[in-house]
Amino acid sequence: MKKNDEIILSISGYTAEGSGVGKYEGMAVFVPLTAVGDTVKVKILKVKKTYAYGKVLEIMKSANCRTENDCSAFSRCGGCVFRHISYKAELKAKENRIRETIKRIGGVDLAPQPIMFDSENRYRNKAQYPVNSEGKAGFFATHSHRIIQNSNCLLQPEIFESLVKTVENWIEKYKISIYNEEKHQGLLRHIYIRQGAVTKEIMVTLVINGEALPFSEELISALRETDKDDLKSVQININKDDTNVILGDKCVTLFGTDYITDILCGVKIRLSPLSFYQVNHTMAQKLYKKAAEYGKVEGKTVLDLYCGAGTIGLSLAHKAKRVIGVEIIPEAIEDAKYNAKENDIENAEFFCMDATEFAEKSSKENLKADVIVVDPPRKGLTEELILTIAESFCPERVVYVSCDVGTLARDIKIFEQKGYKLKEYTPADLFPRTAHCECVALLVKE
Ligand code: SAH
């Protein structure tokens, strides 16, 4: 096989990025925007040793699961990868991929519990829109910083579109300068909107390459006209770095409060622009409920590692004897402590530290934990942390909340070698239409 070849391919699976995969002369060929069951004519774009990339020239036989795409930005925007197949087929694909990965990398052949899911559209409570040189908002294309104009993303609440349009009109009227990434010049970088799923409170933050926003009074009154009742906070976030990272670490409130509030699993949560908060509220509640069920935390001491603003631990605190949360970002720990106080939770403590370091230090100080919950970023746990958990703490149960099944599976393998058994796991689709999927796993001491 070589570049520019045209081949006929049957699609039999999906990659972790959501591309279709078919086998051709022993090679795996990855083709975006195809569906399991398709027969497609493919042009080969790039050939590696054991796999190749291609693009569809023609759908010769269309899979039954294909659906009408309902977003004009789909296939160009880097967000969704599954708008061309039914949600049912997407869920099946995610469940299969998780099962296969846990078998292949984790070495455990165990069927998952049925995948948990809710609505596939309008599920997000947060959006960060880059702004193009014409002052229009959108999203980045796949693996690129090209902006695909789109203010009506079907994953966001409808009100976000009106707020984005308001900002776009203000940009045009007052000729606000737009940030240019290549030249590292210009002011406005991103429009960032967050809404409490339960409270409906809205926070609009403009990320700027500067210290102050011109015509801010005009912006505030236009935003307040767009949503009189729910707009609670308008802020600027200062990011003057020549970087891909969206947010800088300083925010200034221009209107309303520094925070909005939401309620998660019955716990009031304070959110600043910088706080980590699950973007899919309904599914986060289902996920945390499952984590609570797996943890059997009644009367137990729970260690909540990678705790963010404390959401998992705080949602367990009324059942547990004691909750100890650990997180590396100081602001998140401040939020966690504040959230505990606001909710009159007195049996939760929070520490700002690297999770591995905390575990090593506290196990030496004889801290006992009956249940350990971990919710690491995509790179998963360190091997040292797994060893400290398995050899020093030896909790009855480890509940592993994961946003990357590859690292989850890698870590499960180490836990299994150290005397823990993967008892059960449940995929949870917090990110419908995208390639991502969460998973919660229960490991029990043998
Ligand atoms: N459990 C929380 C947050 C999960 S996101 C929730 O459900 O809301 C993962 C968290 O791990 C982030 O808040 C991140 O800041 C934190 N983190 C990343 N590296 C860490 C480390 N080495 N030690 C402790 N926390 C870390």
**What is the distance, to the nearest Å, from the Cα of residue 395 to the centroid of all Cα atoms in its chain?**
28
Provide mean pLDDT across the span 357-373: 97
With the most atoms of ligand 1 within 8 angstroms of its CB, the residue from 269, 327, 356, 379 to mutate is 327
Residue 193: pLDDT band by 50, 70, 90 thresholds? Answer: very high
Which atom from ligand 1 is nearest to the alpha carbon of 354? 23
Same domain, 243 and 363: no
| pTM for this entry | 0.95
Question: How far is the CA of 319 from the CAs of 267, 271, 313, 345, 378, in angstroms?
Answer: 13, 24, 10, 11, 29
Domain of 256 in residue numbering reads as: 126-264
Distance CA 375, CA 307 (A): 7
Q: Would you say the CB of residue 354 lies under 6 angstroms from ligand 1?
A: yes
Same domain, 230 and 328: no
Which atom from ligand 1 is nearest to the alpha carbon of 307? 1
Which atom from ligand 1 is nearest to the alpha carbon of 329? 15
Same domain, 294 and 429: yes
Same domain, 208 and 314: no
Take atom 12 of ligand 1 and give the residue whose Cα is closest. Answer: 308
Residue 77 domain flag: no
pLDDT at 275: 87
pLDDT tens digits for range 54-72: 999 999 999 999 999 999 9
Take atom 1 of ligand 1 and give the residue whose Cα is closest. Answer: 307
Same domain, 323 and 434: yes
Residue 396: pLDDT band by 50, 70, 90 thresholds? Answer: very high
Q: Would you say the CB of residue 101 lies under 6 angstroms from ligand 1?
A: no
Same domain, 244 and 330: no
Provide mean pLDDT across the span 295-315: 96
Take atom 16 of ligand 1 and give the residue whose Cα is closest. Answer: 306
Q: Would you say the CB of residue 310 lies under 6 angstroms from ligand 1?
A: no
Same domain, 234 and 97: no
Share of the chain above pLDDT 70, in %: 100
DSSP E strands in 11-101: the ranges are 13-14, 20-24, 27-31, 39-47, 51-61
Q: Would you say the CB of residue 355 lies under 6 angstroms from ligand 1?
A: yes
Query: Is 214's pLDDT higher than 90?
Result: yes
pLDDT tens digits for range 342-361: 999 999 999 999 999 999 99
Residue 83 domain flag: no
Cβ proximity of 43 and 54 under 8 Å: yes
CATH code, domain with 346? 3.40.50.150
**How close is the Cα of 66 to the center of ligand 1, in Å?**
37
Q: Would you say the CB of residue 338 lies under 6 angstroms from ligand 1?
A: no
pLDDT tens digits for range 171-183: 999 999 999 999 9
**What is the distance, to the nearest Å, from the Cα of residue 118 to the centroid of all Cα atoms in its chain?**
16
Q: How many CB atoms lie within 10 A of CB 362?
A: 20
Residue 87 domain flag: no
Strands 51-61 and 147-149: unpaired
The closest of 280, 281, 279, 262 to 271, measured between CA atoms, is 262
Q: Would you say the CB of residue 276 lies under 6 angstroms from ligand 1?
A: yes
Same domain, 214 and 302: no
Cβ proximity of 28 and 51 under 8 Å: yes
Q: Which of 251, 403, 437, 439 is catalytic?
A: 403
Distance CA 113, CA 426 (A): 5
**How close is the Cα of 317 to the center of ligand 1, in Å?**
19
Residue 129: pLDDT band by 50, 70, 90 thresholds? Answer: very high
pLDDT tens digits for range 88-122: 999 999 999 999 999 999 999 999 999 999 999 99
Q: Bridge-partner residues for 53, per DSSP?
A: 30, 46
Residue 2: pLDDT band by 50, 70, 90 thresholds? Answer: very high
Residue 80 domain flag: no
Look up 77 and say whether it is catalytic. Answer: no
Residue 270 domain flag: no
SS3 228: coil
Same domain, 438 and 294: yes
Distance CA 136, CA 134 (A): 6
Two tokens at 368?
A: 């006992």
Q: What are the percentages of helix, strand and coil residues in the chain, rounded to 5?
A: 25, 30, 40
Q: Would you say the CB of residue 306 lies under 6 angstroms from ligand 1?
A: yes
Mean confidence (pLDDT) of the chain: 97
Distance CA 20, CA 18 (A): 7
Take atom 20 of ligand 1 and give the residue whose Cα is closest. Answer: 328
Same domain, 185 and 224: yes
Side-chain-side CA neighbours of residue 387 (13 Å): 5
Residue 29 domain flag: yes
CATH code, domain with 59? 2.40.50.140
Residue 211 domain flag: yes
Q: Dmax of the chain from CA atoms?
A: 66
CATH code, domain with 172? 2.40.50.1070
Take atom 22 of ligand 1 and give the residue whose Cα is closest. Answer: 354
Provide mean pLDDT across the span 269-294: 95
Same domain, 113 and 134: no
Same domain, 319 and 418: yes
Residue 272 domain flag: no
With the most atoms of ligand 1 within 8 angstroms of its CB, the residue from 279, 290, 306 to mutate is 306
Number of domains in the chain: 3
